[in-house]
Structure 1
């Protein structure tokens, strides 16, 4: 199985919640700016409008690893070490992070044969066991408890859902059985599940027209949050439009047989600066690398 397929299935099975941007109240802005001066240098371009997630060891490590398309592993290790020195609240030590990077590398090459169109109970059980075995290979019980309790619990919920659906229950009975099962889970698990359902509902609104999307979002998260989501939509659309134009011009340069490879790269670098502000250049280069890797697979 291709690595991309393995990664996508792993992401689904882990039931991870999507990353969200943090919006600050006006009275918090001054404190935030002071803290950001010392931490902004540790973030890649795509992370500049977010805060370093220091809620837990797992959250912080995931935050830094999320920059792996723009940084080398060595640069990521350096950023974690620097953050550890700067922050009195840092909860990640270098030794644990080194093991976590090794685990993430092994996760990419995890060989579990799954049907990418429909995950069965047996598929998810096999994936769950493979992940548990991999965790045990790199971490002790205490570290597993700290790093993976939430992810492992969410996979258990995913498995329970599949088992209930396998029984062919009517919608009402399915919901009752699921709610009964969830009521036995810790509060944080229930909250995570509710957040996941909310994200799925928000995602389902993408197929609606603009008015329908706005009304659906308002119903789910309120007027203020809906306006912020719309602003993000516009920023994303503007970036994608610029990237499409840039990509077409970049392809023309690559097809120009009269240019040497060095001249092509110089012209492409010039195109990036013409189409994007400095803070987006590394993001653009990262997307280009991702697409190039996907083409090779």
Structure 2
């Protein structure tokens, strides 16, 4: 009886030990596997981080492409040969596919043959040719000053598009209600609402077209002035010797220009000056003779006798 009792206990103990051994084996087997997996994760080469500068550049390029930019530029140009500069400007505008929105020229008229000429131009060029045009303005003449700007109107453009879509949806609903209207009062009310909606649609459509024109074609304001010569004065940071030499040269040029202008003025008014001098000389001689005669009449007799004997 005792042997029968020990045998089941021994079998039970063996089973328990076997189970524990199996659990420990499974745990030990799983541990190296997890460690190996962790080690593999650690040994795996890291993926290269994205180039932040490149990503920023790409995002900026995307924003620039999608942006609604109104580009403007302003130029002050000088030239010593106005007709040639004007021809060069016309050729540049044509080459860039643009046109003159406004132009005004002055000087060189019938009564102002010696006057300096100047021109004021407003030019529109396609936005794709904006950089090409602004980079070639130097072909026209000497660029004295320049400025440029780019205004992003994307937010305003989107707002107008949204309002336009809202008004069109409202128009469709009003038309549907108008078809179902039964009374004259309802019909009149709906037609008034439709009229106001159509007016808003026209306004928003016009605003979008105006924006499209300003976006698709850049605006360049250019003033062209004729000068006697192009000055190359050094800046204030230039050496003192260069500034003194430049000032001396400028003084000589100014003195020469003054003499030249005086000669031109005298040549232009030669007839008038000669006539004026002749009149003044004649008047002077007449006054002198009259003074002589008046002095002879009022002179004492002895003086008259002496004057007669002297003659």
TM-score with structure 2 length normalisation? 0.22
| Structure in which a larger fraction of residues adopt helix | 1
| Structure in which a larger fraction of residues adopt strand | 2
Larger radius of gyration: 2
TM-score with structure 1 length normalisation? 0.23
